Amino acid sequence: MADVVMAGTGGQGIILAARIVAEVAVRMGYDVKTSEVHGMAQRGGSVVSMVRWGERVFSPLIPRGHADFLLAFEGLEGLRCLPFLKPGGRVIVNLYRLDPLPVLRGDADYPQDYLEIIRGFAPGTLAIDAVEMARAAGNPRVASAVMAGALSSLLDFPADIWEEAIRTLVPARALEANLRGFAAGRRAG
């Protein structure tokens, strides 16, 4: 059983990444629950998705201090969700910074040392440049598949199950790029 929190901003493909992970857990025979954010927050606001699996899962929301994995699609949003991580939980950080409006305007400071802060709290944090890796895989928009790939390297599920899940969920025209992105993420993990 495991709990995964994915944090980022609207438009980063977090919902897709969460669906892929959930689909894999289903194929492994677990009870699965997810929770997603739709609507207003997607207009550039903070977005969180959660995926949980186990023998029996009750709450779709992960309590603070319970997550085994935190996937930070963006630095600041990763920090914001750090309280969900349990002691010993692992973090995967996408080295990507997207300034929120208060920072753009010069009214607030972006926590530039987010990676050190996260590492200080969660040793063993994995940092990757998912956007660059996605670009190398042919499309910068498949960064969420790269993140799913990185997570897959920390989990004990067979590679072909991941691939099947991606094939079920990704539309044909984006499939190859997503599979390449996933493979790149998996190697990086």
Partner 1 sequence: MRRRLLSGNEAIALGAYSAGVRVGTAYPGTPSTEILEELARFPEPYVEWSPNEKVALEVGMGAALGGARTLVCMKHVGLNVAADPWMTLSYIGVNAGLVLVSADDPGMHSSQNEQDNRYYAVMAKVPMLEPSDSQEAYEMVRAAFRLSEEHDVPVLLRTETRVCHSRSMVEYRQEREEVDLPYEKDYVKRVMVPGHARLRHPVLIAKLERLREEAERSPFNRAEMRSSRVGMVTSGVCYQYVREAFPEASVLKLGFTHPLPEKLIHEFASHFHRLYVVEELEPYLEERIKAMGIDAVGKARVPRTGELDPDSVGRALADIVEMDTGVRGGGWSPPLQEGLPPILNELPARPPVMCPGCPHRGVFHALSRMKAVVSSDIGCYTLSVFSPIEGIDCQVCMGASVGMALGLEKAFLSSEANRGKEKKVVAVLGDSTFIHGGITGLIDIVYNRGFSTVIILDNRTTAMTGFQPHPGTGRTIRGEETFALDLAELGRAVGVESVRVIDPWDLEETGRVLEEEVGAERSSLVIARRGCVQRERDREYSPYRVDAEACNDCGLCMRLGCPALVKREGSVAVDETLCAGCSLCAQLCRRGAIAEVGGDG
Please give the residue ranges that form the binding site for partner 1 (CB under 8 A).
9-10, 19, 22-23, 26, 31-46, 57-61, 63-66, 76-77, 79-80, 82-83, 86-87, 99-111, 117, 120-121
CB of 64 to partner 1, least distance (A): 4
Name which of 29 and 160 has its Cβ closer to partner 1: 29
How far is the C-alpha of 1 from the C-alpha of 64, rounded, in Å? 16
What 3-state class would DSSP assign to 20?
Answer: helix
CB of 43 to partner 1, least distance (A): 4
How far is the C-alpha of 185 from the C-alpha of 147, rounded, in Å? 6
Name which of 38 and 172 has its Cβ closer to partner 1: 38
Taking alpha carbons only, the member of 11, 16, 6 closest to residue 44 is 11
Strand residue runs (E) in 10-132 = 31-35, 46-54, 67-72, 85-94, 126-128
Name which of 101 and 172 has its Cβ closer to partner 1: 101
Name which of 99 and 138 has its Cβ closer to partner 1: 99
Taking alpha carbons only, the member of 16, 11, 137, 2 closest to residue 74 is 11
How far is the C-alpha of 49 from the C-alpha of 41, rounded, in Å? 12
How far is the C-alpha of 59 from the C-alpha of 115, rounded, in Å? 30
CB of 90 to partner 1, least distance (A): 15
CB of 31 to partner 1, least distance (A): 6
Name which of 23 and 183 has its Cβ closer to partner 1: 23
Q: What residue type is 18 in one-letter code?
A: A
CB of 187 to partner 1, least distance (A): 25
How far is the C-alpha of 175 from the C-alpha of 155, rounded, in Å? 22
